[in-house]
Amino acid sequence: MDPVRNPYTPGAGSRPQALVGRDAEIDAMDVTLQRVLAGRNEQSQLLTGLRGVGKTVLLNEFEELAEGRGYFHEHIEVSEDGALASALASALRRVLLEMDAKRRLGGALRRAFGVLKAFALRLPDGIELHIDVDAVAGPADSGDLEADLAGLFVELGKVAREHRTGIMLTIDELHYVDRPTLTALIVGLHRAAQLRLPVTVAGAGLPNLAALTGEAKTYAERLFTFPVIDSLTDAQAEEALRAPARDEGVEWDPAAIALAQEVTRNYPYFLQEFGKRTWIVADGPDRITGDDFRRAVPLSIAALDDGFFRVRATSSTKAERLYMGTMARLGPGPVRTADVAAALGRTLAALSPTRDSLIKRALCYAPDRGEIDFTVPLFGEYMKRWMPGVRG
């Protein structure tokens, strides 16, 4: 097939595979944005699921919805160190600057800038934003992050409401955020919701995100829904493969579809990767056969191993690799931590630091008490193929 026409290349114009079957989440977010802008309470979404299932793509879609509804928007990706407060301050500075540039609010924003500057100066890392105003004492500079973030959201929300606009933040990798900061974020949003201010947040994280937010504040369930973003159904996976090719006048044979569903287990990112390379090797001119897909499998696996999988594994320690390799042999997961300990001839207590480190770095997660699983689909198979000391 013509590589220039490859519809599975990211940004090629076709609807991303990760959005197939996600209409309910997209429609719900659009309703949320409209209601919040109208001064009505509505739950936003914290998307939960493994890596590679399309959470980030959905957040990007939410961003486009927000901009289409007249919101000012910024995106934050939380790093492994869990720092969010300073990133929030920087993101909100960009929001205010954009509001000022587009709406030319002038003095209306000066106080908001001052409150934001005071907030930033009281953060633990003491960042100083480049804002040419004096810090405004009072609303958000007490040093209590919960109270200060609530005060900041209220201040910015009032400016947005007065000028008939809204503020939306999308936050990815939210599971990394430490408990105090996550609590403060929830408290701030709760206060904005109580005052019916047009400030909202949509986020995404690993499957334990719902539990983390519930532990941070029990009323988080009143602020958010927690859609589980998982692999696609067979029908959705078939559509994710057929639709982009059909736009180019190409059809998939049923045998090729069945093989793709079996190998990728219907995970959106894998459907895209295998689809992309199947297109490259297919003889064409207007069909993709089962043989085409089989020839693309080694290329697709090699690409995943060298990128998607390896980037998440190369920084692990020898002890972590041994732990994950044992999980892979015992899997597919989730597996019992007691079984991992028994297989390694160690006690649960002795392995606890390794387990905790894997969870903290989001290589693994605990789906239930006494269980552990990989955060990346098919990662166990990668471990058995590539990591030292792992035998299938």
Residue range 285-308, pLDDT digits in tens: 999 999 999 999 999 999 999 999
CB atoms within 10 A of CB 90: 16
Q: Is the pLDDT of residue 391 over 60?
A: no
Q: Is the pLDDT of residue 13 over 70?
A: no
Q: Tell me what the mean pLDDT of segment 24-45 comes to.
A: 95
Q: Are residues 55 and 87 in the same domain?
A: yes
Examine residue 391 and state whether it is found in any structural domain, yes or no. Answer: no
Q: Is the pLDDT of residue 124 over 80?
A: no
Residue range 241-283, pLDDT digits in tens: 999 999 999 999 999 999 999 999 999 999 999 999 999 999 9
CB atoms within 10 A of CB 280: 18
Examine residue 17 and state whether it is found in any structural domain, yes or no. Answer: no
Tokens 């309910």 belong to residue: 24
Residue range 49-87, pLDDT digits in tens: 999 899 999 999 999 999 999 999 999 999 988 889 999
Summary mean pLDDT of the chain: 91
Examine residue 237 and state whether it is found in any structural domain, yes or no. Answer: yes
Which pLDDT value is given to residue 392? Answer: 42
Examine residue 325 and state whether it is found in any structural domain, yes or no. Answer: yes
Domain that holds residue 368: 316-386
Least trusted range by pLDDT, from 99-103, 325-329, 334-338: 99-103
Q: Are residues 308 and 322 in the same domain?
A: no
Q: Are residues 156 and 180 in the same domain?
A: yes
Q: Tell me what the mean pLDDT of segment 111-125 comes to.
A: 89
Q: Are residues 103 and 46 in the same domain?
A: yes
Which pLDDT value is given to residue 5? Answer: 87
Q: Are 238 and 257 in contact (CB under 8 A)?
A: yes
Last residue of a domain, one of 270, 286, 312: 312
Examine residue 88 and state whether it is found in any structural domain, yes or no. Answer: yes
Q: Are residues 164 and 305 in the same domain?
A: no
How far, in Å, are 213, 278, 301, 312 from residue 382 at the CA level? Answer: 31, 20, 9, 11
- Distance CA(354)–CA(12), nearest Å, equals 41
Q: Are residues 275 and 353 in the same domain?
A: no
The beta strand positions in 83-174, using DSSP E, are 166-172
Q: Are residues 98 and 238 in the same domain?
A: no
Q: Are residues 308 and 320 in the same domain?
A: no
Residue range 314-324, pLDDT digits in tens: 888 889 999 99
Which pLDDT value is given to residue 127? Answer: 65
- Distance CA(202)–CA(198), nearest Å, equals 13
Q: Place 389 in a pLDDT band, splitting at 50, 70 and 90.
A: low
Which pLDDT value is given to residue 20? Answer: 84
Q: Are residues 154 and 184 in the same domain?
A: yes
Q: Place 14 in a pLDDT band, splitting at 50, 70 and 90.
A: low
Which pLDDT value is given to residue 11? Answer: 66
Q: Are residues 159 and 221 in the same domain?
A: yes
Q: Are residues 47 and 88 in the same domain?
A: yes
Residue range 193-205, pLDDT digits in tens: 999 999 999 999 9
Q: What is the 3-state secondary structure (H, E, C) of 263-300?
A: HHCCCHHHHHHHHHHHHHHCCCCCEECHHHHHHHHHHH
Examine residue 287 and state whether it is found in any structural domain, yes or no. Answer: yes
Q: Are residues 145 and 30 in the same domain?
A: yes
Signed CA dihedral, 364, 238, 246, 26: sign only:
negative
Question: What's the CATH number where 288 sits?
Answer: 1.10.8
Last residue of a domain, one of 179, 209, 225: 225
Q: Tell me what the mean pLDDT of segment 169-189 comes to.
A: 95
Say how many domains are in the chain.
3
Last residue of a domain, one of 161, 196, 225: 225
